[in-house]
Amino acid sequence: MTGTTDLAEAVCADDGRLEGVDLRVLAQRLGTPLHVYSAPAIGARIRALQTALRGQDALICYAVKANSNLAVLGLMADAGLGADIVSAGELQRSLRAGIPAGRIVFSGVAKSADEIGDALAAGIGRFNVESKDELRLLQDVAAARGAVARASVRVNPDVDALTHAKISTGKSENKFGVGIDEAREWFADSTRLTHVRLDGLHVHIGSQMLCLDPIQLALQRVAALWRELTSSGYAINSIDVGGGLGVRYRDGQDQPVSVQDYAEVIRKTLDGFGGRILLEPGRWLVAEAGFLLTRVLRIKQGRQRRFLVVDAAMTELVRPSLYDAWHEIVPILRRPLPPQIYDVVGPVCESSDTFAVDRQLPPCEPGDLLMIKTTGAYGAAMASNYNSRPLAVEVLLERGRYAVVRRRQTLEEMIAGEQPARNWECA
């Protein structure tokens, strides 16, 4: 099992049903655009990774940024997962979803003093520290609170993740982490840290990786540092191997790695390590379990191109606009006629509001329901109100039933924090 084929089969919607729920009825009741998530598909991914890691002292910390819906986080909590967070907001979401503070790891390059203070007050398990300035700030905030923070240095191993430039994080020119030489200096000076226990290493080189070679190379460099530090007398109790496993966006082209092979790389590379291994999967757990339903508004025939205008936009799924990302698009009702070529576009007033160019699809008509696949990660999580569009409804499906896990935003909710400039003050 590759860890992807099983999901593709589990959420096949050729008959208009997903997890036993009629998507046409769902769209009629709740309107479109509409995000739907398969709870069984997410559960299958969780179990596959847990099975692959069996026998290792490993904690899976779900990368909340991939999909931060409380219901999705609740699935992670129920399965015993932790959380990898990058903001105080993600901290509060994780806690509210039932993820214990001790299973939460705080990553990110721009933690503020207030965010660090909130995390210390909650009792999170570990901070992944990205810069010397952040390490000093963590020491100061922890000292002021009379607390001791457990911390790992995020090592930038200068490894090309072989992925899109905008989601590569492990090269020396990227903003994330510090070089191996600087990491050594941190440990050499660690006796000065009265309120930070620096006893961990962290590495994460990118996202949507479809090859194990960069991951293995990065882990080899971290493993060498771990052994060097241990031989010098420093205790390394945690190694965070990051996340970044890729998923299948394009059938026949994207070939995700086997999760068993991934686990074996971790096992062999860190052989002999006696501490806890942390993992930060996000996209791999939720992307293929999510779909965006959208309805065709009209067909516009231009001089050179035929546009399929739908009611979803870059406000619901920004990945194609931001990364030129490919997402499979399929009609729920397929007409047995020769396919046509469309540019699939949304209603936002930007030329970049385009889901697909020169895409071959069965003939479509206004009112048809389409499914955009593999949107469970970085779909709703990156949504916006641009053009004053309300955030879309989100629904969780399982065993022939559905639950609305985020209702469609109203105009009043959208503008709730805005007000006329009536109360002027001087500063």
Residues 158 and 300 in one domain: no
- pLDDT tens digits along 48-94: 999 999 999 999 999 999 999 999 999 999 999 999 999 999 999 99
The count of other CB atoms within 10 Å of the CB of residue 76 is: 25
Q: What is the mean pLDDT of the chain?
A: 93
58 belongs to a structural domain: no
Sign of CA dihedral 323, 49, 271, 276: positive
- pLDDT tens digits along 243-298: 999 999 998 899 999 999 999 999 999 999 999 999 999 999 999 999 999 999 99
The region of weakest confidence among 156-160, 189-193, 231-235, 243-247 is 156-160
pLDDT value at position 173?
55
Residues 393 and 246 in one domain: no
Instruction: Give the Cα separation of 46 and 62 in Å (integer).
Output: 10
Which of 281, 314, 330 is where one domain is finished?
Answer: 281
Residues 218 and 345 in one domain: no
Strands (E), 173-310: 196-202, 238-240, 276-279, 290-301, 306-310
Residue 241 · residue 264 · CB < 8 Å = no
79 belongs to a structural domain: no
Active-site hit among 12, 349, 364, 426: 349
pLDDT value at position 274?
95
Residues 112 and 217 in one domain: yes
Which of 281, 315, 341 is where one domain is finished?
Answer: 281
349 carries an active-site annotation: yes
If one compares 22 and 15, the residue with the highest pLDDT of the two is 22
Domain coverage including residue 335:
288-408
Q: Under DSSP, is residue 395 helix (H, G, I), strand (E, B) or coil? A: strand
pLDDT value at position 207?
83
172 belongs to a structural domain: yes
206 belongs to a structural domain: yes
pLDDT value at position 205?
87
294 belongs to a structural domain: yes
Residue 167 · residue 377 · CB < 8 Å = no
Question: Which of 310, 385, 368 lies closest to 33 in space, CA to CA?
Answer: 310
Residues 217 and 272 in one domain: yes
Contacts of 115 (CB under 8 A, 6+ apart): 87, 88, 91, 106
149 belongs to a structural domain: yes
Instruction: Give the Cα separation of 170 and 162 in Å (integer).
Output: 10
Query: Model-level pTM?
Result: 0.93
Work out the pLDDT band at 116, boundaries 50, 70, 90: very high
CATH label of the domain that carries residue 317: 2.40.37.10
Work out the pLDDT band at 4, boundaries 50, 70, 90: very low
Question: Which of 271, 276, 280, 290 lies closest to 371 in space, CA to CA?
Answer: 290
Work out the pLDDT band at 174, boundaries 50, 70, 90: low
Residues 132 and 242 in one domain: yes
Q: How many domains are there within the chain? A: 2
Question: Which of 403, 308, 412 lies closest to 355 in space, CA to CA?
Answer: 308
CATH label of the domain that carries residue 193: 3.20.20.10
Question: Which of 168, 138, 164, 167 lies closest to 156 in space, CA to CA?
Answer: 168
- pLDDT tens digits along 362-389: 999 999 999 999 999 999 999 999 999 9
The region of weakest confidence among 40-49, 147-156, 161-170, 349-358 is 161-170
- pLDDT tens digits along 297-352: 999 998 899 999 999 999 999 999 999 999 999 999 888 889 999 999 999 999 99
pLDDT value at position 161?
53
- Whether the pLDDT of residue 19 is over 50: the answer is yes
Element of type H or E holding 394 = strand 393-398
> Which residue has 């933690």 as its token pair?
111
Instruction: Give the Cα separation of 350 and 338 in Å (integer).
Output: 31
251 belongs to a structural domain: yes
Element of type H or E holding 384 = none
198 belongs to a structural domain: yes
- pLDDT tens digits along 187-223: 999 999 999 999 999 999 888 989 999 899 999 999 9
Residues 161 and 239 in one domain: yes
Query: DSSP string of 136-202?
Result: HHHHHHHHHHT--EEEEEEB------SS-GGGB--STTSSSSB-HHHHHHHHHTGGG-SSEEEEEEE
DSSP state at residue 315:
T
- Asked, as a colleague might, if the bond just before 331 is cis with ω within 30 of 0, I would say no
Residues 317 and 361 in one domain: yes
Residues 376 and 351 in one domain: yes
Averaged pLDDT for residues 152-162: 80
